[in-house]
């Protein structure tokens, strides 16, 4: 079963780091975050990867041709510099021969059980499964009573809403719902959701997306302190 990883974005919110390297190449503990993501999949026996390259994709290809794990089988697919997420998925359609495939972003880490995710997807029997997470709020929260008195302070609690955490499973039929100009998270997902074809796998454990310099510092700190929840290998 193949794993498609979206690696083509420019990472504009990490511009100080991504002027010279692609975002999935930013290091956590001396290894690209992309390597960490691939290690999660490899731990569960999923070693066939399709990397959807774009911005400075040559650096990713050069690195993994020299440094890949021996059991990894990697396809380096140039999906264009400015291509949207849906378009990147659409461009690798010919590489997908199995009925199901994994997909995820090249900047998110989690302590996810991929075998359980796969079992969940098969049980739900929908076109797509999205791993949904409750990230920690960026801000502290104040509770106010009916007399406009503050009753409680909560320092950066988990959000009550669920958000898209990546770590998808798709049926091959999803390609029929994607055009090359599409943003995956907009029209394709909206159409499928309206048809009742998207299942939500609720992840209660660790999840973090490296969107900012602060996120990168947090992930590195967890790794250096041997407290990285995603290190399951």
Can you read off the two tokens belonging to residue 143? 């509770």
User: Is residue 233 domain-resident?
Assistant: no
User: Is residue 231 domain-resident?
Assistant: no
Q: What is the CATH number of the domain that holds 137?
A: 3.90.550.10
Instruction: Count the domains in the chain.
Output: 1
Can you give the pLDDT at residue 148? 79
| In contact, 150 and 144? CB cutoff 8 Å | yes
CA angle 205, 9, 117 (to 5 degrees): 30
| Residue 164, beta-bridge partner list | 132
Domain that holds residue 142: 2-224
User: Is residue 230 domain-resident?
Assistant: no
Can you give the pLDDT at residue 6? 98
The whole-model pTM stands at 0.90
Cα gap 126→198, rounded to integer Å: 6
Can you give the pLDDT at residue 161? 84
| Residue 108, beta-bridge partner list | 209
User: Is residue 9 domain-resident?
Assistant: yes
User: Is residue 229 domain-resident?
Assistant: no
User: Is residue 232 domain-resident?
Assistant: no
User: Is residue 16 domain-resident?
Assistant: yes
Cα gap 33→108, rounded to integer Å: 8
Per-residue pLDDT of the chain (233 residues; tens, 9 = 90+): 999 999 998 766 666 666 778 999 999 999 999 999 999 999 999 999 999 999 999 999 999 999 888 999 999 999 999 999 999 999 999 999 999 999 999 999 999 999 999 999 999 999 999 999 988 766 677 788 888 777 877 766 566 789 999 999 999 999 999 999 999 999 999 999 999 999 999 999 999 999 888 899 999 999 999 999 999 99
| Residue 158, beta-bridge partner list | 136
Can you give the pLDDT at residue 56? 93
b/e per residue, 203-230, with b = 16+ CB within 10 A? beeebbbbeeeebbeebbebbeeeebeb
Cα-Cα-Cα-Cα dihedral sign, residues 44, 49, 52, 58: positive
Which residue's entry shows tokens 């290190």? 231
User: Is residue 186 domain-resident?
Assistant: yes
Can you give the pLDDT at residue 138? 67
């Amino acid at each position: 079963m193949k794993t498609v990883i979206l690696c083509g974005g420019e990472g504009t919110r990490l511009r100080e780091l991504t002027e010279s390297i692609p975002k999935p190449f930013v290091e956590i503990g001396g290894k690209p975050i992309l390597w960490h993501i691939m290690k999660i999949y490899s731990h569960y026996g999923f070693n066939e990867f399709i990397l959807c390259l774009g911005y400075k994709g040559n650096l990713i290809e050069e690195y993994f041709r020299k440094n890949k794990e021996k059991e990894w089988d990697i396809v380096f697919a140039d999906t264009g510099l400015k291509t949207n997420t849906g378009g990147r998925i659409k461009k690798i359609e010919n590489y997908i021969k199995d009925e199901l495939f994994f997909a995820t972003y090249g900047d998110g880490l989690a302590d996810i059980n991929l075998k359980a995710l796969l079992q969940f997807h098969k049980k739900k029997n929908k076109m797509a499964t999205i791993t949904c997470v409750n990230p920690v709020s960026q801000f502290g929260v104040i509770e106010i009573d009916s007399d406009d008195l503050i009753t409680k302070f909560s320092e950066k609690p988990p959000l009550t809403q669920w958000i898209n955490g990546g770590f998808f499973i798709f049926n091959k039929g999803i390609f029929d719902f994607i055009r090359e100009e599409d943003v995956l998270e907009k029209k394709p997902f909206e159409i499928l959701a309206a048809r009742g074809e998207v299942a939500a796998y609720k992840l209660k454990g660790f999840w973090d997306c490296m969107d900012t310099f602060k996120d990168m510092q947090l992930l590195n700190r967890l790794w250096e302190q041997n407290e990285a929840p995603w290190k399951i290998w």
